[in-house]
Amino acid sequence: MSIPVVDLSEFLSGDETLKKSFVQKLGSAYETVGFVSVKNHGLPDALIAEIYQYVQEFFSLPTEEKKKYEIPELAGQRGFTSFGKEHAKGSDAPDLKEFFQFGQLVEAGDPMKEIYPDNVQVKEIPKFNPTLEEAYRCYEKTGKALLQAIALYLGLDEFYFDTYIDKGNSILRCIHYPPIKQAPKNAMRAEQHEDINLITLLVGASADGLEILSKKGEWVGVTALPEQIVVNVGDMLQRLTNNKLRSSTHRVVNPPEALWGNPRFSMPFFLHPKSEMSLTCLEDCIDEAHPKAYPDVTAGEYLDERLREIGLKK
């Protein structure tokens, strides 16, 4: 199975024929696979290289230094989360990873300021936070365009999602999978799971390991080619579309024993809407053959439920 490749420049070209073609290719891929690779995505190569540089510098800090940036009351939504804290829904084995999360930024005086906690400032690496902020804004812009295409595919107004994701609760997660020092017991770098959010945008990781579960029940390796990002559907979009667009199950497997000494770094952007967005199934996605599959819930309520299920919130 190959991951479909789409060219975002077609959607942004101003050519209606190219735009409609992009919408159909993207929507069809999300119905059948749940993942696409996107080229001409708008994240500069130089910026991606800088993110990896500063993220690797952060995770190279001594454990006691990193733990200064771990704030338990934020449930992992800002700052550092130490190794072994998170597990997949339905699994008791903690994932073999640690991570740092960077969230939405709003100006002082903005009503949304009371909703979002401040981002944690890493003092040892002066360019760490400014670089994550720049990447965050690029990811938001790309994700916005992709959701506009998805809206058109669903027969909605092109800008249906815009209001919901403007100053939304999106998260940029910087993940470090450390070298494996001994045979893990029933644990892998990231156990099989589905993402919580609307869509996830992922620049190429520093090592192989990402796999998706195909319709045939087979695990298939996924590697983003140079100058492409991988974008998948999350559970919120699956709920909203009553399973028309499917949230694919994926995992990060441990490398062969000969490569246990190699760390892995990954930087997914989890695009979330504002907490008050309703995830009530769209009426046009419900019919006799596809009855309503989910109870009504808001994005904030659903996120809260899932954070408890994966061990980040008590």
- Taking residues 237-259, what's their average pLDDT? 89
E strands, 104-189, where? 171-177
Q: Write down the pLDDT at residue 176.
A: 93
- Taking residues 173-185, what's their average pLDDT? 85
pLDDT digits (tens, 9 = 90+) for 77-86: 899 999 878 7
Terminal alpha carbon distance of the chain: 39
- Taking residues 117-141, what's their average pLDDT? 96
CA gyration radius for the chain? 19
- Beta partners for 232? 35, 200
Could you give the number of structural domains in the chain? 1
Asked if the structure places residue 302 within a domain, the reply is: yes
Over 80: is that where the pLDDT of 205 sits?
A: no
Give 14's pLDDT tier (boundaries 50, 70, 90): very high
Q: Are 247 and 195 in contact (CB under 8 A)?
A: yes
Asked if the structure places residue 46 within a domain, the reply is: yes
Domain span at residue 170?
A: 5-309
- Which three-class secondary structure state does DSSP give residue 63? helix
Asked if the structure places residue 140 within a domain, the reply is: yes
Give 314's pLDDT tier (boundaries 50, 70, 90): low
- CA dist., res. 73 & res. 295, Å (int): 29
pLDDT digits (tens, 9 = 90+) for 254-294: 888 788 888 889 899 999 999 999 999 999 999 999 999 99
- As to burial, measured by CB atoms within 10 angstroms (0-12 exposed, 13-18 middle, 19+ buried), residue 234 is buried
Asked if the structure places residue 125 within a domain, the reply is: yes
- CA dist., res. 260 & res. 177, Å (int): 10
Give the β-pairing of 35-39 and 5-7.
parallel
Over 90: is that where the pLDDT of 218 sits?
A: no
The residue whose two tokens read 């130089």 is 46
Asked if the structure places residue 296 within a domain, the reply is: yes
Dig out the tokens for 20 from the structure: 């409609």
Asked if the structure places residue 42 within a domain, the reply is: yes
Q: Are 8 and 42 in contact (CB under 8 A)?
A: yes
Query: What is the DSSP secondary-structure string of 219-274?
Result: EEE--PPTTEEEEEE-HHHHHHTTTSS----EEEPPPPGGGTT--EEE-EEEE---
- As to burial, measured by CB atoms within 10 angstroms (0-12 exposed, 13-18 middle, 19+ buried), residue 210 is buried
pTM value? 0.91
CA proximity to 250, closest of 233, 269, 272, 229:
233
Say which CATH number the domain at 293 has: 2.60.120.330
Asked if the structure places residue 121 within a domain, the reply is: yes
Asked if the structure places residue 314 within a domain, the reply is: no
